[in-house]
Amino acid sequence: MSDWWSDEPILHSEDDRFGRRRFIDHAISLVRQIGTRPSSAVIGLVGPWGSGKTSSMRLIAAGLPTADWRVAWVNPWAVGGPDAVTAEVLGAIQSVLPPGGKAQRALSQVTRHSRHLTPAIALLPYAGEPLKAGVESVLNEANGSGTLAEQLGKAEKALLKLQQPVLVVLDDLDRLQPDQLLTVFRAIRVLGRLPYVHYLVAYDHQTLLDVLCATPIANGRVDRAVAFLEKIVNLPLDQPPFREEHAERLLTEGIAAALDAAGVGITDEVADRLAAERDVLLSLLAEPRALSRLVAQLRIYLPLVGADEVDLVDFLVLTYLRLAHPLLYRDLSMRSGLLTLVVPGKESSLPRYRYDAESLVERFHVPDVHGRRVARILQRLFPILDPDSHPAQDSAWRAKRKYDHRASDPDCVDRYFALAADENDVGRRSRRRAVVPRVPMPVGSEGETGGSPVS
């Protein structure tokens, strides 16, 4: 936990915390086997955003013997338009070849004339189709020493003779614009399938299909996007899923480290609630990056708010909402006063929050797969959002909330959204304030308040 703020990929297999070493070793063996043959292959590392694909790619590349392999890293997302993407891919191959050799000189000529490549590739309606006459004519429009087609032929002959395995690693393909993505794929298929040159590409499958659907090739049809992808990536490898025991350990250790850094402990009652809510969060945050971001925010803000001034479980859950559903969180923050309105003896006259929990998750487009669980979270945070409960009429509930520093406590709710301790709020460190009826700010035409209530 020493680098708890870092989102950098790991570089060494001993840093693997998620049991993926066997998969990495098998992938390395597969790449080495492929490298013994001249036929170019495209390996796809497939996994959701935040699942650790970049770490896996680095471990695979690091596991290849340096005496035999040359590895070229390309980040097409950091490059400009389609012309630059093509030049970057070919330039990366050129950069790892023996300097001054025939293969490097030939590819240097190809890269120099890369402005001709993009219009040539664009004339191909579908990957894998034979070169049309128009494509050949564009390839033949080179200046000086031979056509581009001739230079590619020279590069192929030199690479066949050299027998130097090259792995071109392309990360973040799913972040490209549609025209950039097509350029990368077509460049690989038409121009980059050189002898002993292989590709390792990483992407989120669903996101990549969405991008492909926005191109003329798929034209909104998922089946055509799938067919196109199959023609480009001939060896897809699914990143092993983030296992439940690893996720639980990451979250548990992160919370413990945050509490330790803040110098506080928790009661048995809070520990029980934390265990139950932790299971819910684990079902909502399925990838390492999302969990790491959550515990990092806890580490940052608990000392600011005052770890003994808030309820840890409520603060953890609100932190999840702030990261995963910021628009929903902002709405709760703006109307926090209405979430905690309970005045003894006047419950029937209180305005209710405009939405119940299920309406909120629908209004702020919480994905259906998470909607029910997020709604239950909201109801546990603020019982007024549960249409089946009547906390204002429950004297035991009302008495308890005065002392537990929960998010539903009107004396404490502002701390959760301010994300910093109020210098004038002495909280637990001294006397409890007398319970004063809370009065809402003026209500607008739609029954909404413009801010937090005042005492």
* pLDDT digit string, tens, across residues 124-164: 444 444 444 444 554 555 444 556 677 778 888 888 888 99
- Structural contact between residues 374 and 332, judged by C-beta atoms closer than 8 angstroms: no
Q: Which carries the bigger pLDDT value, residue 318 or residue 449?
A: 318
DSSP string, 118-187: HHHHHT-SSTTSPPPHHHHHHHT---SSS-HHHHHHHHHHHHHHH---EEEEE--GGGS-HHHHHHHHHI
Q: What is the pLDDT of residue 79?
A: 67
- Structural contact between residues 90 and 111, judged by C-beta atoms closer than 8 angstroms: yes
Residues paired with 170 in a beta bridge: 74, 201
Mean pLDDT confidence for 178-183 = 84
Q: Vertex 195, ends 189 and 196: CA angle to 5°?
A: 105
Contacts of 329 (CB under 8 A, 6+ apart): 318, 321, 322
Residue range 427-440, pLDDT digits in tens? 444 333 333 333 33
- pLDDT band at 455, cuts 50/70/90? very low
Mean pLDDT confidence for 33-46 = 93
- Structural contact between residues 76 and 172, judged by C-beta atoms closer than 8 angstroms: yes
CATH architecture of structural domain 13-238: 3-Layer(aba) Sandwich (3.40)
Q: How far apart are CA 78 and CA 373, in angstroms?
A: 37
Place of tokens 């520093």: 405
Q: What is the pLDDT of residue 349?
A: 40
**Domain residues of the chain, as ranges?**
13-238, 244-429
Of 404, 74, 56, whose CA–CA distance to 238 is shortest?
A: 56
Q: What is the pLDDT of residue 85?
A: 74
- pLDDT band at 80, cuts 50/70/90? low
Structure tokens at 211: 């991008």
- Structural contact between residues 120 and 135, judged by C-beta atoms closer than 8 angstroms: yes
Q: How far apart are CA 88 and CA 188, in angstroms?
A: 12
Residue range 311-346, pLDDT digits in tens? 999 999 999 999 999 999 999 999 888 888 654 444
Q: Which carries the bigger pLDDT value, residue 376 or residue 356?
A: 376
Q: How far apart are CA 388 and CA 149, in angstroms?
A: 73
Mean pLDDT confidence for 62-79 = 87
Q: How far apart are CA 96 and CA 104, in angstroms?
A: 9
- Structural contact between residues 350 and 339, judged by C-beta atoms closer than 8 angstroms: no
Mean pLDDT of the chain: 78
Q: How many residues does the chain have?
A: 455
Q: How far apart are CA 298 and CA 449, in angstroms?
A: 29
Mean pLDDT confidence for 300-318 = 90
Helix (H, G, I), strand (E, B) or coil at 381: helix
Res. 70: pLDDT tops 60: yes
Structure tokens at 145: 């020493």
Res. 181: pLDDT tops 90: no
Q: What is the pLDDT of residue 100?
A: 81
Structure tokens at 346: 């006047």
Count CB-CB contacts under 10 A for residue 161.
12
Q: How far apart are CA 18 and CA 26, in angstroms?
A: 16
Q: What is the pLDDT of residue 134?
A: 45
Q: Phi and psi at residue 70, in whole multiples of 5°?
A: -120, 130
- Give the DSSP letter of residue 1: -
Q: How far apart are CA 375 and CA 387, in angstroms?
A: 12
- pLDDT band at 77, cuts 50/70/90? confident
Name the CA radius of gyration of the chain, rounded: 29
Structure tokens at 248: 């639980």
Q: Which carries the bigger pLDDT value, residue 324 or residue 174?
A: 324
